[in-house]
């Protein structure tokens, strides 16, 4: 997938999932699958999900744009129910995340390993205009990335979520965060949690192994790909 370069477009503008820039750009549909039961980190989770479907959302439409300083992903998926509250102990919000490798060895399936973190940009429907940037060096080890400038905006309408998540290409988060540069390629992944199915933590639909994202060069012909 290509993250097209769109000079002079403020990241703030791109945070609107209906911005005209998104309509013009290319997008791609990624099939999603539920995380395997055997990968759930605790026996209690495995016992309670053994007969339940994991990963209620089948596919997500993804697009990405950057302006030389910041990169934004736009996610759109079908969801008949908007789950955005914690009105009961049994209510879980819809959520989405973009995963990026902090390092070329970072394994996505197990959310990183020591010394090779997976960086995630995480959005949740109970705070639809906020995001959290986290990094993990293995399942269950996620911690917030300090100093993150991550932002997001999500809108649910007519049975669809449209969510934009973005931040600066260069993160203040250091080696635990993905440091991105125009004219290079990186891996990325998408995860969607369906609140009405009580999905949270490792119970989610995800896009499998790393997908390729090419971040378009900013400097004409000279900005070649890695």
Partner 1 sequence: MTATERQLAMVMDLNKCIGCQTCTIACKRLWTQDEGMESMWWNTVNTQPGRGTPRDWEELGGGFRDGAANPGRIPTRKEFGQAGDYNHQEVLFEGKGNGAHLQVKGDRPDWGPNWDEDQGDGEFPNSYYFYLPRICNHCTHPACLEACPRKAIEKSSANGIVTVNEDRCRGYRFCMEACPYKKIYFNEARRVAQKCIFCFPRIEQGIANACARQCPGRVRFVGYRDDQDAPIYKLVDKWKVALPLHPEYGTQPNVFYVPPIGPMRFDENWDLDPTKPRIPNEYLESLFGPEVHGALAVLRAEMEKTRSGGESELIDLLIAYKWSEMFGGFDRDPATFGQK
3-state secondary structure of 207: coil
The residue with tokens 């390729």 is 212
Tokens read off for 205: 């639909």
Is residue 42 near partner 1 by the rule CB under 8 A? yes
Backbone angles phi, psi at 156, to 5 degrees: -110, 130
Least Å from the CB of residue 132 to partner 1: 10
Using CA atoms, how far apart are residues 71 and 57, in angstroms rounded to an integer? 25
Site for partner 1 in 164-193 (CB under 8 A): none
Is residue 67 near partner 1 by the rule CB under 8 A? no
Rule CB under 8 A: choose which of 7, 8, 88, 104 binds partner 1: 88
Closest CB to partner 1 among 126 and 168?
126
Closest CB to partner 1 among 29 and 48?
48
Q: How deeply is 214 buried, as exposed, middle or buried, from its count of CB atoms within 10 A (0-12, 13-18, 19+)?
A: middle
Is residue 200 near partner 1 by the rule CB under 8 A? yes
- Which helix (DSSP H) or strand (DSSP E) does residue 21 occupy? helix 20-24
Q: How deeply is 167 buried, as exposed, middle or buried, from its count of CB atoms within 10 A (0-12, 13-18, 19+)?
A: buried
Is residue 80 near partner 1 by the rule CB under 8 A? no
Which range binds partner 1 by CB under 8 A, 29-37, 85-93, 145-153, 180-188?
A: 85-93
CA dihedral 84, 160, 21, 147 (to 10 degrees): 30
Least Å from the CB of residue 172 to partner 1: 21
Closest CB to partner 1 among 24 and 47?
47
Is residue 202 near partner 1 by the rule CB under 8 A? yes
Angle at 128 between CA 123 and CA 129, to 5 degrees: 95
Is residue 31 near partner 1 by the rule CB under 8 A? no
Residue 78: count of CB within 10 angstroms of its CB: 13
Closest CB to partner 1 among 35 and 186?
35
Is residue 41 near partner 1 by the rule CB under 8 A? yes
Closest CB to partner 1 among 6 and 45?
45
Rule CB under 8 A: choose which of 43, 80, 158, 221 binds partner 1: 43
Rule CB under 8 A: choose which of 26, 86, 172, 212 binds partner 1: 86
Tokens read off for 6: 């769109």
- Interface residues with partner 1 (CB under 8 A) are 40-48, 50, 86-90, 126, 139-140, 142, 200-202
């Amino acid at each position: 997938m290509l993250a097209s370069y769109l000079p002079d477009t403020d990241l703030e503008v791109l945070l609107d999932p209906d911005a005209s820039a998104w309509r013009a750009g290319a997008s791609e549909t990624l099939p999603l699958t539920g995380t395997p039961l055997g990968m759930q980190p605790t026996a209690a989770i495995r016992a309670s999900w053994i007969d339940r479907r994991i990963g209620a959302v089948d596919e997500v439409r993804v697009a990405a744009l950057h302006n030389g300083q910041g990169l934004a992903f736009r996610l759109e998926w079908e969801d008949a129910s908007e789950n955005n509250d914690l009105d009961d102990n049994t209510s879980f919000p819809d959520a989405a995340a973009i995963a990026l490798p902090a390092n070329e060895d970072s394994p996505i399936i197990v959310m990183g390993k020591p010394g090779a973190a997976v960086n995630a940009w995480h959005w949740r429907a109970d705070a639809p205009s906020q995001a959290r940037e986290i990094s993990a060096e293995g399942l269950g080890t996620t911690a917030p990335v300090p100093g993150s400038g991550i932002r997001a905006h999500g809108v649910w309408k007519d049975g669809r979520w449209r969510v934009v998540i973005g931040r600066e290409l260069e993160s203040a988060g250091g080696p635990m965060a993905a440091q991105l540069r125009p004219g290079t390629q990186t891996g990325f992944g998408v995860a969607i949690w369906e609140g009405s199915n009580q999905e949270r933590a490792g119970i989610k639909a995800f896009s499998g192994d790393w997908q390729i994202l090419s971040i378009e060069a900013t400097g004409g012909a000279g900005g070649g790909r890695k």
